Amino acid sequence: MTFVRLTRHAPEAQNATTCAVCGTADARQLTDHLQVGTPGAPQQDAGVCEACGGVINQMADKYGPQVTMVVDQAQTQASEREITVPGAQPSKPEAGESH
Ligand SMILES: [Zn+2]
C-alpha cells in the first residue's frame, strides 16, 4: 500500500520546482511537501502548490486522514462488445415507446 503524506506550509517545499499535482512551475506557489512511499521511508518527495495542497487537505478533513483512494475514469461511451444489436443506438430512448 502506498502511503501519501502532505505537510502543509513546509520549508522543504521551497526546494521543489514544480507542483506534483497540477504541474505549475511557479515556485512562489509551492508551499506544501508531499511524501509518497512506505510509511516512515518515503520513496518520493515532491512539492505541491497552495491550491492543490488545499484540495488534499479538504479531502482529508472530510473523509479522515486515512483514506484509500482509487481513481477511475467514468465510462461515457459503450464499447464495441457492449453493443449487441447491430445498428442499435445505446444512448437514445426508443422512438415508438409510450406510457
Ligand atoms: Zn498544484
pLDDT at 73 over 90: no
- What is the distance in A from the centroid of ligand 1 to the CA of 50? 7
Ligand 1: centre distance to CA 54 (Å): 9
Q: Using one digit for the tens of pLDDT, what is the confidence trace for 59-72?
A: 989 988 777 777 88
**7 Cα to the center of ligand 1, angstroms:** 14
76 Cα: distance to centroid of ligand 1 (angstroms): 27
Long-range contacts of 33-39 (CB under 8 A, 24+ apart): 33/6, 33/7, 34/4, 34/5, 34/6, 34/7, 35/3, 35/4, 35/5, 35/6, 35/7, 36/2, 36/3, 36/4, 36/5, 37/2, 37/3, 38/3, 39/3
- Residue 2 in this model has a pLDDT that exceeds 90: no
Per-residue model confidence (pLDDT) at position 18 = 96
Strongest mean pLDDT among 52-56, 69-73, 78-82, 85-89? 52-56
| Grid-cell match 488545499, residue found | 54
- Residue 53: what pLDDT? 96
Cα–ligand 1 centroid distance for 28 (angstroms): 11
The mean per-residue pLDDT over the stretch 52-57 comes to 94
- Residue 75 CA, ligand 1 centroid: distance in Å: 26
Q: How far is the CA of 91 from the centre of ligand 1 (A)?
A: 36
